[in-house]
Amino acid sequence: MNSINKNDIKVFRTENSKLDQTDFENLAFGQVFSDHMLTCDFKDGIWQKPIIEPYGPISLMPSAKIFHYGQSIFEGMKAYKDKDGKVFLFRPMENVKRLNKSAKRLAIPELPEDFFMEGLKALLEVEKDWIPEKEGSSLYIRPFVFATGEGFHASPANQYKFIIALAPSGAYFAGKVKVLIEEKYSRSANGGVGYAKAGGNYAGQFYPTQLAKDKGYQQVIWTDDTSHEYIEEAGAMNVFVRIKDTLLTSPTSDRILDGVTRKSVLKIAEDEGIKTEVRKVKVSEIVEAAKNGDLKEMFGAGTAAVISPISGFGFRDEDFELPELENSYAMRIKKRIVDIQTNKAEDPFGWRVQV
Amino acid sequence: MNSINKNDIKVFRTENSKLDQTDFENLAFGQVFSDHMLTCDFKDGIWQKPIIEPYGPISLMPSAKIFHYGQSIFEGMKAYKDKDGKVFLFRPMENVKRLNKSAKRLAIPELPEDFFMEGLKALLEVEKDWIPEKEGSSLYIRPFVFATGEGFHASPANQYKFIIALAPSGAYFAGKVKVLIEEKYSRSANGGVGYAKAGGNYAGQFYPTQLAKDKGYQQVIWTDDTSHEYIEEAGAMNVFVRIKDTLLTSPTSDRILDGVTRKSVLKIAEDEGIKTEVRKVKVSEIVEAAKNGDLKEMFGAGTAAVISPISGFGFRDEDFELPELENSYAMRIKKRIVDIQTNKAEDPFGWRVQV
Ligand SMILES: Cc1ncc(COP(=O)(O)O)c(C=O)c1O
Ligand SMILES: Cc1ncc(COP(=O)(O)O)c(C=O)c1O
């Protein structure tokens, strides 16, 4: 694998910064993009040198395979600034490794880890003023790879582009999150690509999610496609369920994304003395617990949404509300994670990486 | 829905035709593209007027959702020329309707049928010299839609582009087709998007197909993701199995593409007095039949590959060869279809559409 240092990466600076025109007080999620991006092309059988250039349009032939065969993967990370202006990433190597896990499954050439990590560090140096300081905001980082090689034959492309783009962002969800436990549509197949962050996994969720929204839910909780008896995960979050005092979450599989936040939640819960169980969770068990009062909390966990408490769920035309707890696991764990991410608390796990 | 006539479509002609430089005698599949394309944008909540313009690069922002969430669909059709230079399509309304079926599942706004059909007719008028006359060659037509709207929020885009591009093409498979019956990886989930021609369905097949190629097979035959006991379809073809004198094919479902060629094969077989059965086909049944000599033929059926006889299959490290038949169903049916497509035979079914 090639190796590169962040100082070797050429920077072509924009002459028209949008920084002054950006309202950092009122950021939506992933709608505003920073001035520069990292780009890196795969051609002639190797990943070429990455560069940093002004964020701007990409030119592609209509026969580029991204348009036809969905050959694309991505990651989602965040950069945080502490009160002294120091910049941090959270467990970034997890994303680097997962991108390559996704690459392999989607027949995309794996990216040298350095190109990603050193490239990201170089980009963040150029773009550090784009990292919001406001609580609850952060710089969302979107590394992605897609097929630029041409042809209508349904086979892998011979050219690809890796980009890291940055979006200063506020909260992913606007308000309360009510979820629908889905029994008809599915997110992924046994032996499919569900464990990869492949573009196609997301487009397939839009229509069922739209149907759920029309009924008043913000998110779908997917169940296994064979029996629909077990919960899997949400659109862009892993899911936790607290029954009595135990925190449950599904084991990862080839259908479920191995979330960095999920792993971190499990670790923090353990550290906090909260009992956790990683095992298949039956829908019927959740419904039962909701009915008899044992269901205390549900929440989603993901980089974009951080920890999102779920206020209620729908299942088979029945609606279940969750109690509002004073000292919820969700809030306890969220505070620990965010404090570690933003350098407000000690980091006993070695997750924070200063850049 | 809006309505349009082919004569209303503005044509912006190229000044640099590539027609003279194109070797029509040695065409690969989907590698050479004609001079013009039809383009049509969805914005402000409606599909704008389509135009015909020179085939060339598209400019997209890095945050366009096609790059991130795989929101894309496509179709595959062919135009044929008879010996008098008349131009024909084969059951084109099936593709128009299927594109919109795919659109719905992928949360893409449905396209007015006229925009597609009249647009295609107008494009073929401009590009008629690109239709190969050589036997076995044809003009492959690739209509596709993808998300151009921007944002990192995992939700449907607000802008899309519809394009029809054309590729004069030779055969899809270079030689014999040996297939591997797959038991580990899957193509689609119950309740998923397998029945749609969604980009992401194809990228997910590349890696397992590569593994099969490494073992000497050209294609994978997918099985159901729950039990892997039943065959479903191949990468871009539906699959037929002849046991004794009966032609079997799986019923379509939400996991299997409802192929135009498949439907046509069933109709022709019926017309030819060949016994057909549309029912779930067990892998064990095929293996059994291969062992006792009842398995006479297998073939794939799809627009790109037409009818592709399968010369043998692999299953669990065992290889099975199929006999070479004198008067195979595959060849009989292929001749009937191709003769109808190319105006060499009567069309009792009303499938051929002159443009
Ligand atoms: C399908 C899916 N599940 C779970 C997650 C959460 O993963 P992570 O915590 O690594 O962000 C994500 C998104 O990031 C996702 O897309
Ligand atoms: C997955 C899949 N199955 C089957 C087919 C065959 O369908 P048709 O005969 O309409 O081309 C195709 C391609 O066209 C396909 O992509």
Give A68-86 pLDDT, tens digit per residue: 999 999 999 999 999 999 9
Residue A56 clears pLDDT 70, i.e. is over it: yes
Distance B58 CA to ligand 2 centre (A): 27
Q: Which residues of A touch B31 (CB under 8 A)?
A: 150-153
- Ligand 2 atom nearest to B238, measured from its CA: 4
Which A residues 111-150 touch B at CB under 8 Å?
140, 142, 144, 146-147, 150
Distance in Å, alpha carbon of B50 to nearest chain A alpha carbon: 16
Probe target for ligand 2 pocket from B172, B182, B261, with the most ligand atoms within 8 Å of CB: B261
Give B152-195 pLDDT, tens digit per residue: 999 999 999 999 999 999 988 877 899 999 999 999 999 999 99
Confidence bin at B21 (pLDDT 50/70/90): very high
Residue-range domains of chain A with CATH: 6-169 (3.30.470.10), 177-341 (3.20.10.10)
**What CA–CA distance (Å, rounded) separates B34 from B19?**
8
How large is the average pLDDT for residues A272-277?
A: 98
Looking at all shown ligands, the one closest to residue A196's CA atom is 1
Give B278-321 pLDDT, tens digit per residue: 999 999 999 999 999 999 999 999 999 999 999 999 999 999 99
- Ligand 2 atom nearest to B94, measured from its CA: 10
Residue B143, ligand 2, Cβ within 6 A: no
How large is the average pLDDT for residues B207-228?
A: 97
Distance A44 CA to ligand 2 centre (A): 31
Distance in Å, alpha carbon of A7 to nearest chain B alpha carbon: 24
Residue A24 clears pLDDT 60, i.e. is over it: yes
Residue B229 clears pLDDT 70, i.e. is over it: yes
pLDDT in the model for residue A1: 52
Residue B214 clears pLDDT 60, i.e. is over it: yes
Nearest CB among B66, B76, B106 relative to A206 is that of B106
Instruction: Look at the block and give the residue holding tokens 């980082």.
Output: A141
Residue A26 clears pLDDT 90, i.e. is over it: yes
pLDDT in the model for residue A176: 85
With beta carbons less than 8 A apart as the criterion, state whether A34 and A141 touch.
Answer: no
Would you call A328 an interface residue with chain B, using a CB distance cutoff of 8 Å? no
Which A residues 262-301 touch B at CB under 8 Å?
none
Probe target for ligand 1 pocket from A140, A255, A303, A307, with the most ligand atoms within 8 Å of CB: A303
CA neighbor of B135 nearest in space, from B335, B349, B278, B299? B335
pLDDT in the model for residue A3: 86
Give B180-234 as a DSSP string.
Answer: EE-SS--S--TTSSTTS-BHHHHHHHHHHHHHHHHTT-SEEEEE-TTTS-BEEEE
**What CA–CA distance (Å, rounded) separates B87 from B190?**
40
Give B230-282 pLDDT, tens digit per residue: 999 998 999 999 999 999 999 999 999 999 999 999 999 999 999 999 999 99
**Structure-token pair, residue B48:** 């704008």
Residue A99, ligand 1, Cβ within 6 A: no
Q: B70–A172: do the CB atoms touch at under 8 Å? A: no
- Ligand 1 atom nearest to A95, measured from its CA: 10
Residue % of chain B over a pLDDT of 90: 96
**Exposure string (b/e) for B162-192, b if CB count within 10 Å is 16 or more?**
bbbbbbbbbebbeeebbbbbbeebbbbbbbb
Looking at all shown ligands, the one closest to residue A76's CA atom is 1
Give A108-155 as a DSSP string.
Answer: -PPPPHHHHHHHHHHHHHHTGGGS--STT-EEEEEEEEEE--B-SSSS
**What CA–CA distance (Å, rounded) separates A223 from A234?**
9
Alpha-carbon radius of gyration of chain A: 21
Give A123-155 pLDDT, tens digit per residue: 999 999 999 999 889 999 999 999 999 999 999
Q: B31–A153: do the CB atoms touch at under 8 Å? A: yes
> Does ipTM top 0.90?
yes
Give B89-144 pLDDT, tens digit per residue: 999 999 999 999 999 999 999 999 999 999 999 999 999 999 999 988 999 999 99
Residue A261, ligand 1, Cβ within 6 A: yes
**What CA–CA distance (Å, rounded) separates A200 from A54?**
28
Would you call A201 an interface residue with chain B, using a CB distance cutoff of 8 Å? yes
Residue A85, Cβ neighbours under 10 Å: how many? 10
Q: A61–B56: do the CB atoms touch at under 8 Å? A: yes
CA neighbor of A239 nearest in space, from A254, A257, A217, A212? A257
CA neighbor of A135 nearest in space, from A354, A355, A350, A341? A341
- Ligand 1 atom nearest to A257, measured from its CA: 3
> Going by DSSP bridges, is the β-strand pair A246-249/A275-278 parallel, antiparallel, or unpaired?
parallel
pLDDT in the model for residue A284: 98
Instruction: Say how many CA atoms lie within 13 Å of B52 toward its Cβ.
Output: 24
Would you call A202 an interface residue with chain B, using a CB distance cutoff of 8 Å? yes
User: Which residue, by CA, sits nearest to atom 16 of ligand 2?
Assistant: B236
Cα distances from A262 to residues A141, A208, A247, A305, in angstroms, run: 18, 24, 12, 12
Residue % of chain B over a pLDDT of 70: 99
Strand partners, A39: A51, A163
How large is the average pLDDT for residues A41-56?
A: 98
Would you call B175 an interface residue with chain A, using a CB distance cutoff of 8 Å? no
Q: A33–B201: do the CB atoms touch at under 8 Å? A: no
Residue B236, ligand 2, Cβ within 6 A: yes
**What CA–CA distance (Å, rounded) separates A226 from B225?**
8
Q: Which residues of B touch A59 (CB under 8 A)?
A: 57-59
Cα distances from B349 to residues B98, B264, B268, B301, in angstroms, run: 20, 9, 9, 18
Give A170-208 pLDDT, tens digit per residue: 988 877 899 999 999 999 999 999 999 999 999 999 999
User: Which residue, by CA, sits nearest to atom 2 of ligand 1?
Assistant: A236
Q: Which residues of B touch A165 (CB under 8 A)?
A: 62-63
Does the reported pTM lie above 0.90? yes
Q: A206–B107: do the CB atoms touch at under 8 Å? A: yes
pLDDT in the model for residue B1: 52
With beta carbons less than 8 A apart as the criterion, state whether A225 and A256 touch.
Answer: no
Distance B327 CA to ligand 2 centre (A): 25
**What CA–CA distance (Å, rounded) separates B120 from B102?**
19
With beta carbons less than 8 A apart as the criterion, state whether B199 and B73 touch.
Answer: yes
Q: B187–A186: do the CB atoms touch at under 8 Å? A: no
Looking at all shown ligands, the one closest to residue A235's CA atom is 1
Cα dihedral sign for A207, B201, A228, A74? negative
Would you call A209 an interface residue with chain B, using a CB distance cutoff of 8 Å? yes
Confidence bin at B78 (pLDDT 50/70/90): very high
Query: What is the average pLDDT score of chain A?
Result: 97
Q: Number of CB pairs < 8 Å for A and B?
A: 251
Q: Which residues of B touch A67 (CB under 8 A)?
A: 66, 72, 74, 144, 146, 163, 199
Distance A259 CA to ligand 1 centre (A): 5
Residue B237, ligand 2, Cβ within 6 A: yes
Residue B337 clears pLDDT 60, i.e. is over it: yes
| Three-class secondary structure of residue A97 per DSSP | helix
